[in-house]
Amino acid sequence: MVFIKYMRTKRWVYGLAFVPFCCSLLDPCGAHEGHDHAVPAIQPAEVYAPSVLPDRIILTWVDDPRTTQAVTWRTSPEVRKGIAELAVAEDGPYFSEKAQQFTAESQALMTDINTAHFHSVTFRDLQPGTRYAYRVGDGTNWSEWFHFSTATAQAEPFSFVYFGDAQNNIRSMWSRVIREAYRDAPKAAFLLHAGDLINKAEADGEWGEWFGAGGWLNAMTPNLAVPGNHEQARSLTGQRRLSHHWRPQFAFPEHGPPGLEETCYTLTYHNLRIIALNSNERLDEQAVWLDEILATNQSPWVVCAFHHPVYSTGKDRDNPALRKLWKPIFDKHRVDLVLQGHDHTYGRTGFAVPGVDDDPNSLPPQTVANVPTGVQQVDPVYGTVYVVSVSGPKMYNNSRKPYMKRLAEDTQLYQVIHLDGETLKFEARTATGMLYDAFRLEKVAGERNRLIELDAEVPERLRPALEESVK
Ligand SMILES: [Fe+2]
């Protein structure tokens, strides 16, 4: 009797111990009656909390890529002094003993979920064509050592990668695109983002997703970016203004029109003049600035990047004011390539070919408007190719325009652009790396470029309803 009672007691005791064990291991979903074991969603404030260890490390340029390199990073506010160390990279580990220290410019940023310090250093007087190693920290807590290479003194062939809007589900769905682009062009000289990197201008969690998607790549390959409408927030007075994140976290040139510092700027990389414009505001001031920059440009290739398209791929998304102000300047100076975003589809123009494209419907609108009455020929000096692209998962309808040579819907893309002397090769690739659109531009002395269409690997991707409507 005593034994039976003992066993019952033990069983009861073991049973008590066994029930929670079952709940935790055998019933991890919390489906056990009377228990709710669902794991709560982790919140951005926890995921993206800054610490004393540097994160969001990103290379950019404020000056000549042959002799300078800027780096910016984030820490928690207790880190009051940021330090960067720099040495010429070596094959062995002893380069670090020769490192020089640089003190950062630091500033606080209060966001919707935290307060952080952003630190920025510009390395100057670097040797062209040299691989450097650097790390960032506070003297106690350091990042790993990263490498970057300065541009060579003389122009050499190089590639860069261009992304349209990332904007939504950045961690979940955009990360695969930037990483596929890295697999495709690991030695790209820089990455160019044409606006709407995130969705909510002041959401630090979204910026955390954007930096997380690029990861260490951002610390090894310089980035250039222009702000889209989603990098604009409303001020207390209702005015649209640049996100408070932009300037602390990106170091770009400040030589644009006053008030547009680090959003409107130009850099030269080898034989390419890159012009970044802020299509959100003050378009007329930028038109004057752009004309002046291009009037003195010495680089054979010119690429302009901004967010809102000159030729929209979306119905009711036209930007006539921008086109009226900026396109005549692109025409006047024969800008080679214009890279844009905003429309969440893909669309790429060709050239208007006299005698072939005389149908007004096949020509971009402004080109038609510029043709004098009765003249059956477009200005032969035009030759700018306009591209709209998207890298994130948000997808819109594409209202097919006859002057677009290649279109896409429901397709995440990245673009690799390769420059080699007199030739520019453009490749748009899908999120899985398939060649979706390609062409080559060749310089022809005194004339517009020669445009050579190249074969894609996959058919045009358009929604069935649209395919029906364009037949
Ligand atoms: Fe946009």
Examine the pLDDT at 366 and tell me if it is beyond 80: no
The rounded Å distance from CA 308 to ligand 1 centre is: 7
The rounded Å distance from CA 300 to ligand 1 centre is: 30
Stretch among 7-11, 108-112, 245-249 having the lowest mean pLDDT = 7-11
The rounded Å distance from CA 194 to ligand 1 centre is: 9
The rounded Å distance from CA 395 to ligand 1 centre is: 12
Examine the pLDDT at 251 and tell me if it is beyond 70: yes
Examine the pLDDT at 396 and tell me if it is beyond 50: yes
Q: What average pLDDT score do residues 229-233 get?
A: 97
The rounded Å distance from CA 169 to ligand 1 centre is: 15
The rounded Å distance from CA 414 to ligand 1 centre is: 17
Phi, psi of 116 (to 5 degrees): -135, 160
The rounded Å distance from CA 403 to ligand 1 centre is: 22
List, for residues 369-385, the tens digit of each pLDDT value: 444 444 333 444 468 99
Query: Taking all residues of the chain, what is their mean pLDDT, rounded to a whole number?
Result: 89
The rounded Å distance from CA 93 to ligand 1 centre is: 45
Examine the pLDDT at 77 and tell me if it is beyond 70: yes
List, for residues 55-72, the tens digit of each pLDDT value: 999 999 999 999 999 999
Examine the pLDDT at 362 and tell me if it is beyond 70: no
Look at residue 2 in the predicted model and tell me its pLDDT. 40
Q: What average pLDDT score do residues 144-161 get?
A: 97
Look at residue 36 in the predicted model and tell me its pLDDT. 65
- Evaluate whether 412 touches 164 at the Cβ level (below 8 Å): no
The rounded Å distance from CA 288 to ligand 1 centre is: 24
Look at residue 33 in the predicted model and tell me its pLDDT. 52
Examine the pLDDT at 17 and tell me if it is beyond 80: no
The rounded Å distance from CA 360 to ligand 1 centre is: 29
At 447, the pLDDT band (50, 70, 90 cuts) reads confident
The rounded Å distance from CA 179 to ligand 1 centre is: 22
Token pair in block for residue 141: 């807590």
Greatest Cα pair distance, the chain, in angstroms, is: 116
Look at residue 236 in the predicted model and tell me its pLDDT. 85
Q: What average pLDDT score do residues 4-28 get?
A: 43
The rounded Å distance from CA 167 to ligand 1 centre is: 8
Highest mean pLDDT among 164-178, 228-242, 305-319: 164-178
The rounded Å distance from CA 157 to ligand 1 centre is: 32
Q: What average pLDDT score do residues 81-103 get?
A: 98
Look at residue 22 in the predicted model and tell me its pLDDT. 40
At 353, the pLDDT band (50, 70, 90 cuts) reads low
Look at residue 37 in the predicted model and tell me its pLDDT. 74
The rounded Å distance from CA 447 to ligand 1 centre is: 34
The rounded Å distance from CA 342 to ligand 1 centre is: 4
Report the percentage of the chain scoring pLDDT > 90.
78
Examine the pLDDT at 25 and tell me if it is beyond 60: no
Report the percentage of the chain scoring pLDDT > 70.
84
- Identify the helix (H) or strand (E) that includes residue 206: helix 204-214
Look at residue 272 in the predicted model and tell me its pLDDT. 98
Look at residue 465 in the predicted model and tell me its pLDDT. 67
At 315, the pLDDT band (50, 70, 90 cuts) reads confident
Look at residue 403 in the predicted model and tell me its pLDDT. 80
The rounded Å distance from CA 178 to ligand 1 centre is: 19
The rounded Å distance from CA 171 to ligand 1 centre is: 19
Examine the pLDDT at 45 and tell me if it is beyond 70: yes
The rounded Å distance from CA 181 to ligand 1 centre is: 22
What's the rounded Cα separation, in Å, for the pair 267 and 271? 11
Could you tell me which residues come within 8 angstroms of residue 121 by beta carbon, excluding any fewer than 6 positions away? 70, 71, 82, 84, 102, 103, 104, 105, 136
Q: What average pLDDT score do residues 71-98 get?
A: 98
Phi, psi of 101 (to 5 degrees): -100, 145
Examine the pLDDT at 401 and tell me if it is beyond 90: no
Examine the pLDDT at 171 and tell me if it is beyond 90: yes
Antiparallel, parallel or unpaired: β 69-75 and 55-60: antiparallel
At 196, the pLDDT band (50, 70, 90 cuts) reads very high
Q: Measured between alpha carbons, how far is residue 65 from residues 129, 141, 219, 267 in Å? A: 10, 28, 15, 8
The rounded Å distance from CA 309 to ligand 1 centre is: 10
What's the rounded Cα separation, in Å, for the pair 251 and 255? 12
SS3 461: strand
The rounded Å distance from CA 27 to ligand 1 centre is: 45
Look at residue 382 in the predicted model and tell me its pLDDT. 63
Q: What is the separation of C-alpha 406 from the centre of its chain, rounded to a whole number of angstroms?
A: 22
What's the rounded Cα separation, in Å, for the pair 471 and 467? 7
Of 165, 163, 280, 286, whose CA–CA distance to 233 is shortest? 280
* Residue type present at position 38: A
